[in-house]
Chain A
């Protein structure tokens, strides 16, 4: 991994930990971004972690760009050997896979898709070597996912599947982006998953939909009343496959202010994950189940 820095105009510094995506690069980006935040450098106004990089916004009237550059270089060296352990939380996201709403939407945009004769799920199952759509869904819901970045639009989490690279689901994005995606669609593009926080354009393959809002600018939903966005970079997500009845029930509970997402504290060690991904994942799922 090689760190690269570049100025984004006179107000941003971009720091790339690696050109390619990996949990290590994401971890390094998160921990270096955290180190920058904790060092409270004068003139730094925003720190945005991304998948394998992060970005700092600064006020060049307060700190000279070259001084900030030097501070970042020394921080980078100091955090090089930081222990890759993250105190975080696991959030369960119920998903109604193969739902009628994303299906209706994907049918409207078939001419923009690589495989117009198949649904997004059928296509993803086929190119990832799964025998059936159900097998793909089982794989999608089996492992935890790491929130590697939040953004694009308000509150949208990018999710990195916590399995060995050979098992990661990989799909191309639509040939041309759709102009419509249902709110709360669970999507996948490249090796990354996402949950669309708002309705709008999108290019990721659509796998399902969650009844659990993750962004509420009105802050009227009970669990989003303190802050309008659910996810933070570094959170861990576990999907759970649900059917129509449970989907409807959760929608009702959310409306009535009775729904509370299942969220549990957890500790994640990158070294432990690499030593035994299955055991590390099992521990995260256990944390969620409250054992």
Chain B
């Protein structure tokens, strides 16, 4: 039982809910960038929420199924087709042995999640099937898929149903101009008050350097630093600090010019100051942002962050009730 990769798409990799626990050694958690969509895809086909799925970026793969399977595609609006016939998104459907699952062009969002009943059955490495490509770890041979790969599938429990669907209200898509909520902090005192205000006032655009490690932004004003004698070991640039650990979602601004928000395959540390951290509730949204999308960073406090987190938790609970 397996899936033969005919065309891999731009960057398609095996992901699950990640491998926390090794960040202190430089191994990031990895896992789906849009975890909500990943969970939904799995629930639709009767898998555990954290089963292995395929995460397709910007462009869908073409996959030939060697056996009958129940499949669901969630996340970005990347319309699935089975042997050329349109299939519903956010809905489970059957693919027969020998059929090819392909995709139309991306309409909205950035990453689609393809779950198959039984789950993608690559070996579990350090507790996860997720691909960490920078470290050649996990997933399918530690890398994005290539044409000719044959991806193993697990045994479906036989409980998967076709036609199970997520209601429209529970299918989030990114707004045309996303607002990322940020808890300021970390080293935000390194820039002047007016630079900090400018950062939150300006409209930034997602740069082409936007991947699983991090999203770079351009288009806002350069930030002015508070002058200081650099601490020993920090490096001479005013944006340098003594190398430290980077939180997931943290926003570093090398040289004060282009913010980078670290995501699931984050580099675990380095020597650039950070202005704050995108709140956990907005991390999934980043995974659905395309290059050139106009973006605002919005400062919030911890109370707001926790309220947003509860809201995201409630939406997930509603999804689970629908698909139970």
Contact = CB atoms under 8 A, between A and B. Distances in A.
Q: Do A and B truly interact?
A: yes
Interface of A: 6-12, 14, 16, 18-22, 45-55, 57, 60-61, 65-66, 149-156, 158, 165, 172-173, 189-192, 197-198, 200, 215, 217, 228-229, 231-233
Contact of A8 (B27, B125, B250, B309): B250
Given A49-B245, A152-B267, 17 more contacts: A6-B185, A8-B185, A10-B302, A10-B306, A10-B309, A12-B277, A14-B244, A20-B234, A21-B231, A46-B21, A51-B244, A57-B23, A150-B25, A153-B134, A154-B134, A189-B235, A217-B137
Interface in B7-52: 20-21, 23-27
A57 B248 CA distance: 9
A24 B233 CA distance: 13
Q: Which of A154, A155, A215 counts the most chain B CB atoms within 10 A?
A: A154
A155 B305 CA distance: 32
Contacts of A192: 233, 243
Nearest to A22: B232
A48 B266 CA distance: 14
A20 B242 contact: yes
- Using C-beta atoms within 8 Å of the partner chain, give the interface range for chain B: 35 or more
Interface in B89-148: 125, 132, 134-138, 142
A149 B243 contact: yes
B196 interface: no
A149 to B, nearest CB: 6
Nearest to B235: A190
10 closest Cβ pairs, A-B complex:
A21-B233, A8-B247, A9-B277, A20-B231, A151-B268, A151-B26, A154-B135, A55-B245, A12-B247, A48-B24
A132 B247 CA distance: 41
Contact of A9 (B241, B278, B313): B278
Nearest to A9: B277
B232 A150 contact: no
Given A9-B279, A154-B134, A20 B232 contact: yes
Interface in B242-292: 242-245, 247-250, 267-271, 274, 276-281
A143 B194 CA distance: 46
A8 B103 CA distance: 38
A150 B22 CA distance: 10
24 contacts: A6-B186, A8-B186, A9-B276, A12-B277, A19-B234, A20-B231, A21-B242, A22-B233, A46-B24, A48-B245, A51-B243, A60-B306, A60-B309, A151-B23, A151-B269, A173-B235, A190-B234, A190-B271, A197-B26, A198-B136, A217-B125, A229-B25, A229-B26, A232-B25
Contacts of A7: 183, 185, 277, 302
Contacts of A22: 232-233
Nearest to A150: B25
Contacts of A50: 243-245, 269
A152 B270 contact: yes
A20 B20 contact: no
A53 B244 contact: yes
Contacts of A228: 137
B23 A9 contact: no
A197 B250 CA distance: 24
B25 A151 contact: yes
Given A8-B277, A152-B270, A200 B233 contact: no
Interface in B282-324: 302, 305-306, 309, 313
